[in-house]
Every structure is written in C-alpha cells, then in structure tokens.
C-alpha cells in the first residue's frame, strides 16, 4: 500500500470517528429530561463546527496531496524513465508544487548520470581497445626478448612462451602449450625454488611478488640455464602460477672452466722456466768468479727462459681477455658521483653541455663501465640528433633505478638502438659491447617520450643499492612553525616576476642545520645548502653546500640529529664569510624553503654584521601544503613527502633536506595549477591567505 493510500485511509478513519462522535453527542444531548433539552440552534452550531473542521482537514489534505504527494509520485516515475530509458526526460511536475528545486536537481542529476554512463561506455570501449593494443605490444615485446620466457600454472604446465624459449632450447618438440615444464627443465631446482618462494610469500618476507635466481640443467643435460623465477600475483587469476625467465649460460660456464684450466696451465707451464731462471740467477750470484764460458751459458739460459715466459704470458693474456667471466666490479654508487664524472669529462671538452638533474639515489653497478657507456651514448645521441644539451637524471622505478639521458627532440628508433647495442664500449675490460655492459647490470635500454613536453629520454634500468633503504638517523623534533614573520610581507613590486608561471621561473631551494631551535636565544647556523631549480628541473649539478663555524659548542642533542660535531666545523669559515657566498649563489632567484621563517630568522639576524640583505621573493612549502591540504594535520617535511610520494634520501642534512624540499615543491606546483594558482603572484597570495588564518605557533 502506498503512502498516499495509507494517508487517505487514515483520513477516512478520522472522519468516521468524528461523525460517530457527532452522532453520539447529538444523541446524548437530545436524550435528556425536557428541562435539560438543548435547543436545535445549539445542536446545529455544534454540527456546523464539526463539518467545518472536517472540510478544512479534507481541503488541506487535498492541497497537500496535489502539491506534494502527486508531485513526488510524478518524480518517482520520472526517475524510472530517466534511469531506465530516456536520460533526457523532462519531469512532468505540475506547477505550484512544494518541492522547491528538487525536480530541477533530479533532472540535472539525470543528465550528469547520462554523461557519466556515456563516458564509462567510451572508457570501456577505449579500455578494450587499449587492452588489445597492449596485448599486441606484449606479444611484440615477448618476441623481441633475448631471454626465454615460460608462464606456468601450479602444475608447471606451460601457459605461454616466447620465440626465444624455442631458440635457446634448440628443441621445439618439447615446447608447447599445456606441456609440462619438467619435460624440459630438471625438476629438483625448479621445485626447490618454488618451495622457497612460497615460504617467503607466506611469511611476508618479500615486498611484492617474490623471485629468485638459480642455475638449472635441461633434462637431456645438454644446456645449463641461468633462471629467474617469479611468482604471479593471485589477482591475475592463475593460482600459484609463476613466470620463468631463462638464458643459456653454457658457454659462460664453459668459459669459466676454460679460464680455470688456463690458470692451472699457466702455473704448470711456468714452473719449469721459473725454476731454470732461479737456478741460473742463484749460480751467477753465488759464483762471481765463474768462468766466462759458464757465465755466458747461464746468461743465455736466463735470456731464453725470459723470452719463453714473456711469450707464454702474452698468449695467456690474449686468451684471458677472450674468457672474461661475469665477475664484475659491482659496488654501491651514488648517482651524483657517477654523473659528476661524466659531466666533468664533457666540461673539460666543452661540447656537448651535460647537466646533472634530479634527486641523487643509490644504485648498484660497475662505475667504470657505466661511466664509459653514458659517455658513449651521449656522443652517439649528439651525432644522431644534432642536439648539444643533455640532462643526466635518475628516477626510482619498480625495484630498479632508471638512469636517464634527456634531450629535446624525438625518441631514438629501435633499429638504431639495436645497432648501438652491438658496438664495443671503448676501454672496458674485455672490450665489452654496449649490450654486454647492459646485460651485466641485468637491464634493458630503451628510448621514449619524456614527461617534459617536447623532450625524449634514453633510459637504462640498473639495480638499486641497499643503501637507498637505510633508515635515517633519529627523528628530528619538529621545528616551530612561525607565521607572523617579515617574509609574509613580500616586496610590493615584484616586477615581471609576479606574472611569470611557476614552472618557468628559477628557484633556489635551501635549508639550514643549526645548533638549536631558538635563534634569538643564541643558536647559530652550522650548515647551509641550496639547490637550483630552472624551468621545472632540479639541477643537482648546481648546488651550494657549506659547513659553518658557529663560534660556540654544538649541543649533543643537536649532533644526534644532524651529525655535525665541533670537530667538523672548527676549521670551517664563519657565517660572515659563508652568507655572502650564499647570496651570490642565489642571485635573483625566488627562494623556496620548508617552514622558511625558521631558516630566515637565523639569516636575518646576521644581515647587519654580514652586510647581506635577502629581498628575494620567497615561497614556503609548508604554507603551500596547508593551502592545498588544510584537511590534514601533518605538514612536516616527512609528512608532505609521504603524502606526495617523494622518495626521502639524505634526511637531516642541509643539502639532503633541500633536495627533498625541491622534489616536493615541483609536485606542489602541479597541484597548485589545479586550483588556478599558476603565477608567482598567485602562489604568494595563497601563502598570505594561510598566514592570515593561521595563528602564531611558537615564538623564537
């Protein structure tokens, strides 16, 4: 029963009760002694009042029924039409209803629902198309891989394989969909590796899907294969499935065996000549008065055996260079050091111009080989593209680090890259090719569009160093936030800077380390550092990093956080020397800092004695974070970094914090653009609004 029917039933019940009451009252009034009989006028008046009340109630309900219930019923039916058949349906609600703007809101919602439904449909079509395109690309990628690939289910049945798997195994008859992997690979190593991975996954000892490396022989014992086995995510719908990538290392193992045999041969073959040389030399020394004929004979032995040794060593050296194994000088590398070597080499020549950008990361590799490879690739790119300016950048990828060469122009064709892969990298041990240097680092090189419009990148993934995940020192207590400071009153006339887009300006992001948190109470700067941002690029090759002698003892509680002790700064220049250098480094750039009032308070207190005045416009990542995300409480540097997905490295050093702040600032610029904060004046105005609504958090 509908609400309207229930209401009518209730109204009929009320009317019935009222009529019954009226009849009862009339009977009771008329059934009285003659002397107490009520006149007919009184009875008529009473009945008239009852009729008026009932009529009013009926009319009121009729009005409500027409203005509310019928309108709601029309809306309900209209919603059915909108959702089921015609999203453009105009709701046929009678005028003078009491639903205010509800019909218009429902009509608008219907239109938006239709739009969203169309967008979803288009997205599904586009998604299906992209899925098909990705499938084609995946097939193309699998065909191009040099490694063999098998995808198997829990019973080790082959679900997918690539052409390289057939090529490597030399036996296409045992490779086929639904065939058992154990017909090809020895069972024991595969099952043992699977057991290890399942145990690691169960105990959550791995981040992501676990994987392991091992060497396995084929069933016929003809090949030795270097394998990498990885469990598939259950989300893919293949329960307990796995991927096995493999390559033939039979020749490498054979080369290692030959190298060992060569070493033994060197030892065995040289024992005789060395013994003869030693005997001849000892006789000559022991018998200085030896007859000349005998002396000539011994000298001839020495010359003959020396020549034989020299010839044998030359032969062994040539064979050894041809048998260079896979034991490379791999070590932890800081990308800034690696890039610095490459940049310095080109700076000495002056052409091309190579700039180091991005936040430095720790990687694992052969420093010498990578340096030569990057230098050679830049040379090849210069000749091919005619470009004379390149950036060296580094990014954190999925358990890998991407070493990028960035230039303005189009990506490199795959056929050109394939030719480059076969070229030798000069001066590497064993005259390695580009492909071999890349293979040492278990990577693949490719070229693609860069995130900067109009730019491209040549990307080399390399292993990440365990140092990248080292825990930072003790957590630093939060610096006091201070919003009522002179920097909030930016220069009234910013000139042309005010209208410049943020992503086109030059910035210097800086940070300080101090003896304590109270500059007005005598705390001093012990370190100051900055990094330059130019047109959206962090130029890690253009940094300022100085230790400062504070002319006072550094408290142990501060040393515990930034690691700067009295011994480290006792021979360093004072702030009177460092601050003018820092001002020269800044130039006309816009300053950026996190909780910049704290750092600027230290600097402003030294302006008089240093003769430096910092009038540059300044942006504060703390204020910008509050402007964008006032719904959260954590606006510390670590909190913002975690929220924006910025990798933290070198925390609690002035340069390390400046680099983290720089990465945060670039991401804030992108978010600010969504709020129409595009120009420098917009960002300063946004900061001012935050200053006006925030209260002073602490005093200095």
- Per-residue model confidence (pLDDT) at position 160: 84
**350 pLDDT more than 90:** no
Nearest to 363 by CA among 460, 445, 430: 460
Cα separation, 71 vs 271, in Å, equals: 110
- Per-residue model confidence (pLDDT) at position 371: 87
Segment 100-122, tens digit of pLDDT: 777 777 777 777 777 777 777 77
Question: Average pLDDT of the chain?
Answer: 78
Is 96 one of the annotated active-site residues of the chain?
no
β-pairing, 353-356 vs 389-396, is parallel
Question: pLDDT-derived band of residue 474, with 50, 70 and 90 as boundaries?
Answer: very low
**299 pLDDT more than 60:** yes
Q: Please answer whether residues 224 and 250 qualify as being in contact, where contact means their C-beta atoms are separated by less than 8 angstroms.
A: yes
**Could you tell me what percent of the chain has a pLDDT over 90?**
22
Report the greatest alpha carbon distance in the chain.
181
**96 pLDDT more than 60:** yes
State the DSSP H helix or E strand holding residue 45, giving kind and residue range, or none if neither: helix 40-64
Segment 368-425, tens digit of pLDDT: 788 889 999 999 999 999 999 999 999 887 778 999 999 999 999 999 999 999 999 8
DSSP symbols for 230-268: EEPPGGGS-TT-EEEEEEE-HHHHHHHHHHHHHHHHHHH
- Per-residue model confidence (pLDDT) at position 77: 59
Question: pLDDT-derived band of residue 446, with 50, 70 and 90 as boundaries?
Answer: very high
- Lowest pLDDT segment from 415-429, 477-491, 573-587: 477-491
Segment 653-691, tens digit of pLDDT: 889 899 999 999 998 998 898 888 999 999 999 988 888
Question: Which residues partner with 537 through β-bridges?
Answer: 534
CA 510 to chain centre: 23
Coil vs helix vs strand at 152: strand
Segment 238-281, tens digit of pLDDT: 677 899 999 887 766 655 556 656 666 776 777 777 777 777 78
**What is the mean pLDDT of the segment spanning 26-54?**
60
Q: Please answer whether residues 411 and 385 qualify as being in contact, where contact means their C-beta atoms are separated by less than 8 angstroms.
A: no
Cα separation, 375 vs 266, in Å, equals: 37
Which alpha helices (H) appear in 287-391, and where do they start and end?
A: 292-322, 335-349, 367-385
Catalytic residue among 107, 450, 635, 652: 652
Cα separation, 666 vs 452, in Å, equals: 13
pTM equals 0.50
- Per-residue model confidence (pLDDT) at position 38: 53
**What is the mean pLDDT of the segment spanning 329-337?**
76
């Amino acid at each position: 029963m509908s609400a309207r029917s229930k209401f009518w039933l209730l109204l009929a019940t009320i009317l019935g009760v009222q009529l019954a009451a009226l009849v009862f009252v009339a009977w009771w009034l008329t059934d009285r002694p003659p002397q107490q009989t009520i006149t007919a006028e009184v009875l008529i008046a009473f009945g008239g009042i009852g009729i008026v009340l009932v009529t009013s109630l009926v009319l009121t309900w009729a009005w409500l029924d027409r203005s509310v219930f019928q309108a709601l019923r029309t809306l309900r039916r209209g919603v059915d039409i909108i959702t089921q058949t015609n999203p453009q349906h105009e709701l046929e609600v009678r005028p003078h209803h009491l639903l205010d703007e509800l019909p218009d809101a429902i009509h608008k919602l219907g239109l938006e629902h239709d739009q969203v439904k169309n967008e979803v449909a288009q997205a599904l079509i586009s998604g299906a198309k992209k899925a098909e395109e990705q499938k084609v690309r995946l097939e193309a990628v699998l065909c191009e891989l040099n490694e063999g690939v098998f995808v198997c289910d829990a019973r080790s049945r082959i679900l997918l394989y690539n052409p390289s798997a057939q090529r490597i195994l030399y036996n296409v008859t045992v490779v086929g969909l639904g065939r058992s992997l154990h017909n090809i690979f020895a069972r024991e190593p595969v099952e043992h590796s699977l057991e290890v991975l399942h145990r690691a996954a169960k105990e959550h000892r791995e981040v992501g899907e676990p994987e392991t490396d091992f060497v396995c022989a084929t069933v016929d014992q003809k090949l030795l294969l270097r394998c990498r086995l990885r469990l598939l995510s259950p989300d893919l719908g293949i329960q307990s499935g796995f991927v096995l990538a493999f390559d033939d290392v039979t020749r490498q193992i054979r080369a290692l065996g030959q190298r060992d045999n060569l070493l033994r041969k060197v030892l065995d073959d040289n024992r005789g000549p060395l013994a003869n040389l030693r005997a001849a030399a000892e006789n000559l020394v022991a018998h200085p008065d030896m007859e000349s004929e005998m002396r000539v004979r011994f000298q001839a032995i020495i010359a003959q055996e020396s020549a034989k040794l020299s010839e044998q060593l030359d032969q062994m050296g040539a064979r050894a260079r041809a048998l260079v194994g896979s034991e490379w000088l791999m070590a932890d590398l800081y990308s800034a050091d690696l890039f610095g070597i490459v940049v310095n080499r080109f700076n000495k020549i002056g052409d091309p111009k190579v700039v180091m950008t991005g936040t430095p990361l720790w990687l694992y590799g052969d420093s010498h080989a990578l340096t030569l490879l990057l230098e050679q690739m830049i040379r090849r790119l210069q000749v091919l593209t005619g470009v004379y300016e390149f950036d060296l950048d580094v990014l954190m990828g999925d358990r890998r680090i991407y070493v990028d060469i960035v230039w303005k122009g189009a990506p490199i064709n795959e056929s050109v890259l394939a030719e480059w892969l076969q070229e030798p990298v000069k001066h590497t041990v064993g005259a390695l090719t580009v492909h071999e240097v890349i293979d040492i680092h278990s990577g693949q090189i490719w070229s693609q569009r860069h995130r900067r419009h109009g730019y491209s990148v040549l990307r080399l993934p390399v292993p990440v160093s365990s140092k990248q995940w080292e825990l930072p020192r003790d957590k630093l207590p939060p610096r006091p936030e201070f919003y009522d400071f002179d920097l909030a009153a930016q220069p009234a006339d910013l000139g042309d800077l005010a209208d410049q887009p943020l992503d086109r300006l030059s910035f210097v992001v800086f940070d300080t380390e101090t003896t304590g948190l109270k500059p007005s109470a005598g705390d001093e700067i012990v370190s100051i550092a900055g990094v330059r941002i130019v047109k959206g690029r962090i130029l890690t090759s253009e940094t300022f990093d100085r230790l400062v002698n504070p002319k006072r003892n550094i408290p142990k509680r501060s040393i515990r956080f930034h690691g700067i002790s009295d011994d480290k700064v006792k021979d360093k220049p004072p702030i009177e020397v460092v601050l003018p250098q820092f001002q020269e480094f800044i130039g006309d750039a816009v300053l950026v800092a996190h909780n910049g009032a704290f750092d600027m308070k230290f600097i402003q207190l030294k302006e008089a004695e240093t003769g430096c005045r910092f009038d540059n416009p300044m942006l504060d990542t703390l204020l910008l974070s509050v402007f964008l995300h006032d719904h959260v409480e954590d606006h510390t540097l670590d909190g913002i970094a975690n929220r924006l997905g910025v990798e933290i490295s070198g925390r609690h050093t002035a340069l390390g914090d400046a680099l983290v702040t720089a990465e945060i600032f670039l991401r804030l610029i992108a978010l600010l653009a969504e709020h129409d904060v595009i120009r420098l004046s917009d960002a300063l105005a946004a900061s001012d609004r935050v200053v006006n609504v925030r209260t002073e958090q602490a005093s200095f």
